[in-house]
Homo-oligomer: A and B are copies of this chain.
Amino acid sequence: MSKLKPAPTLDDVARKAGVSTATVSRCLNTPDRVVEATRKRVQSAIEALGYTPNFAARVMAAKRTFTIGAIIPTMENAIFARGLQAFQEELHQHGYTLLVSSSAYKPATEEEQIRTLVARGADGLLLIGHDRAPHIYEFLQRRDIPALVAWSFSPDGRLPSIGFDNRAAMYELAQRVFDLGHRRLAVISGITHGNDRARLRLDGVRDAVRQRGLDPQGLQVIETPYEIENGADAFARLMSQDTPPTAVMCGNDVLAAGALLRAQDMGLKVPQDVSITGFDDIELARILRPALTTVHVPHREMGGKAAKALIEMVEKRAPAAGEHLFTHIVERQSLGPANSA
C-alpha cells in the first residue's frame, strides 16, 4: 500500500534551491526584484518538485516588500558600521534587503528619513537610541510599522530595544580610572541634546564621581560633535589649564583618537603624563599608539540579534521582547596610574 505523498511546500522549494523561504516568496510575487540566477534556481526547484503555490503563501508574501530600513546618526568613523554589517548579513539570510540612511545627528533629518522609508514601503525600521519627539512614535504606530531601537537598552522606551546600558558601562570605566588613583578627571563628551547614548555615558561618569564622595559639579565637561579634530581641540583646552586633569575620559573612540593625537603633538606622554579613555572599541582603538583603553560594545552580536528580533516583529506582527547586552572594559595602553606631578 503506497502512502499518499504530501504536497511539496514552500520550505521544500527553499531547501532544494538552497535559498530562504522569503526568497522563494519573492520569486513568486515580485520576480523582478530577484537576481536572475537565483530566480532560475528557484524556478528549477519548483518544476522539479511540482510545487504549486497555495493561497496562504501568496497572501503571506504579497503584503511585504522584504525591505528593512535603518537610520543611523553617521556613516563616518565606522561607529555603526560593524553592527550594521552584522544586521545586514542576518537580514540577507532571511531574504531581506537593507536600506540605510544617515541623519548626521539631526532630529529633523531623521524624521524625514523615517517618513521616506515608510513611504518607500519598508517592512520595518531599525533606529538608534530612544531620544525622539513623541509624534514620530505616533506616526510609526499609526502606520503600523514595526520598529526597534539598538545601541541603547531601556526596558521602558517607547520601542523595544536591543542594546547595552551606556550609563553602567561608563560608570564601570570611571571606577577603574578612580581605582588607578586619578582624582582630577575631565570628560570630552558628544553632544548630549537629542542623544541618549551620549547623555547616559556622561551620567555614568557623574555617578562614579558621586560614589567617591566628590562633587559632580566639579567635573569638567566639554561637549563637542564626534569628530577627531573636535576631540583634539577639546583636549588642548583641558590641558592648557593651570591644574590640568590627570585623566580625560572621552565619549567615544573618535574623540579619544583626537585627544591622543593632540597629546603627541603637545609632547605629552600617554599614559605617563595623562590618561585617555574611549568608548565603542571600534578598529581605531586597536590601531592608535598607545592603543586605547575603552569600553567594548558587542557590535556584531547586537546587529545580528536586532535583525532577528525585527524580522520576528515583521513576520509575526508581534512586539519584540528587547534584550540587554553586556559591555566590558578592554585594557590597552592609554590608561595608567595617576601621575604624582
Contact = CB atoms under 8 A, between A and B. Distances in A.
Nearest to A72: B75
Given A75-B81, A84-B75, A112 B287 contact: no
Contact of A35 (B82, B92, B112, B261): B112
A9 interface: no
A32 B115 CA distance: 7
Interface string A216-246: 0000000000001000000000000000000
A261 B99 CA distance: 34
Interface size class of chain A, counting residues whose CB lies under 8 Å from the partner chain: 35 or more
Interface string A240-278: 000000000000000001000100100000000000000
A66 B115 CA distance: 12
Given A76-B85, A77-B78, A119-B65, A99 B100 contact: yes
Interface string A134-167: 0100000000000000000000000000000000
A120 B65 contact: yes
A29 to B, nearest CB: 11
Copies of this chain per assembly: 2
Contact of A287 (B65, B85, B100, B284): B284
A102 B76 contact: no
Interface string A92-114: 10000111111010001101110
B97 A100 contact: no
Given A35-B108, A283-B228, A287-B288, A75 B100 contact: yes
A37 interface: yes
A108 B76 contact: no
A264 B286 CA distance: 13
Contacts of A82: 76
A117 interface: yes
Nearest to A77: B78
Contacts of A69: 99
Interface centre among A30, A75, A117, by most chain B C-beta atoms within 10 angstroms, is A75
Nearest to A229: B283
Describe A's contact surface by its main secondary structure: helix
A125 to B, nearest CB: 12
Nearest to A88: B102
Given A75-B78, A287-B288, A288-B287, A33 B119 contact: yes
A288 B97 CA distance: 35
B92 A116 contact: no
A304 interface: no
Contacts of A288: 287
A43 interface: no
A235 to B, nearest CB: 15
29 contacts: A30-B119, A32-B115, A33-B112, A33-B115, A35-B108, A35-B111, A35-B115, A66-B116, A67-B120, A69-B99, A75-B75, A75-B80, A76-B85, A77-B283, A78-B78, A85-B104, A88-B102, A92-B109, A97-B113, A97-B116, A99-B117, A100-B100, A100-B102, A120-B121, A228-B283, A264-B289, A284-B287, A287-B288, A289-B289
